[in-house]
Amino acid sequence: MDDDSVPAPQGGDRYREIASSLRALLPTMKNEEVRSQLSMLAIEYDKLAQCMEAVSESLQHPPAPRSG
């Protein structure tokens, strides 16, 4: 089975996967500044995942039109 046949994660899942991979690298980094930057990058990917999930949710359930 090649990589092209594996479905890509949807929504925020891909960003959470990247964040998790970055966090897995943290113990291997000797430089404190590099660890700190990777940790911050993982946090940003988690935020992207949350945004993607919010957008996906709003597209699936748009707000009711306001009367006014």
Residue 7 has pLDDT above 50, yes or no: no
Q: What is the DSSP letter of 31?
A: -
**Per-residue pLDDT at 50:** 93
**Per-residue pLDDT at 37:** 97
Query: What φ, ψ does residue 56 adopt, rounded to 5°?
Result: -60, -45
Q: For residue 36, what are its two tokens?
A: 């700190």
Q: What is the pLDDT of residues 26-65, one digit of tens each?
A: 999 999 999 999 999 999 999 999 999 888 888 887 777 7
Q: For residue 25, what are its two tokens?
A: 């690298």
24 compared with 56, residue with greater pLDDT: 24
- pLDDT band of 4, cuts 50, 70, 90: low
